[in-house]
Amino acid sequence: MDTARHFTLLDRLLAEADRALHTAFPAAAHTASRVNPAANQPADGLSTDERRFSGRLMRVNHAGEVAAQALYRGQAFTAREATVRVGMAQSAAEEIDHLAWCEERLRELDSAASRLNPFWYFGSFAIGATAGLVGDKFSLGFIAETERQVADHLDGHLKRLPPNDARSCAILEQMKTDETHHGDKASRAGGISMPAPVRALMRLTSKVMTETAYWV
């Protein structure tokens, strides 16, 4: 007898709503499955201004991880092939670590997550779901390009962080490694190259989000 549960569309929508509430809102707290990369780094010797600046950069990175969760979940929701859907959900689960590490670092820096995280989440979920509706190869290519742009963004932040902020740097270095892996994984799974206008629109959208999250 087949005892596997078959989820209805309503079941799936409710599950996604629950996940959104646990990801996007300020009361959310995430538990990492891996040790924080900053665990063995020395305590901060940052000035007040340096702590404020690092806090703002880490808020941007946290907002980016909220958006990444939503993109993966949106794409998994509309994926046509079960293998693609499972792969998207798996990558999203692996990146929960990034959320937990960024949240911990924000607390250490006496900073806070972006108040616009619900907007970043639901907007990104819609974008991800749309990419999934276009087709799995497009959706995988969208992930590969997103992760490439995220890795470039993290490189920029690593150069901008105060040189003595070893704890933030350790977190961003590991995040960059993971993002590169997920992008390569999407490409190997059959992702196609994004057209130039799509890549440009992705960069513009990312710029709006990062510059806004820096302040709010």
pLDDT tens digits, one per residue of 182-213 = 999 999 999 999 999 999 999 999 999 999 99
C-alpha–C-alpha distance, residues 135 and 150, integer Å: 22
> Hey, what amino acid is at 20?
A
C-alpha–C-alpha distance, residues 188 and 116, integer Å: 34
What domains are there in the chain, each with its CATH number?
A: 46-215 (1.20.1260.10)
What DSSP designation does 116 have?
T
Backbone dihedral region for residue 135 (phi beyond 0: left; psi -120 to 50: alpha; all else: beta): left
C-alpha–C-alpha distance, residues 84 and 189, integer Å: 8
C-alpha–C-alpha distance, residues 106 and 144, integer Å: 28
Question: Euclidean distance between the first and final Cα of the chain, in Å?
Answer: 53
Measure CA 31 to chain center.
Answer: 15
**pLDDT tens, residue order, the chain (216 aa):** 444 566 777 666 666 666 665 676 655 568 888 999 999 998 888 999 999 999 999 999 999 999 999 999 899 899 999 998 888 888 888 889 999 999 999 999 999 999 999 999 999 999 999 999 999 999 999 999 999 999 999 999 999 999 999 999 999 999 999 999 999 999 999 999 999 999 999 999 999 999 999 999
Alpha helices by DSSP H, 32-80: 48-78
What does the pLDDT look like over 8-19, one tens digit per residue? 776 666 666 666
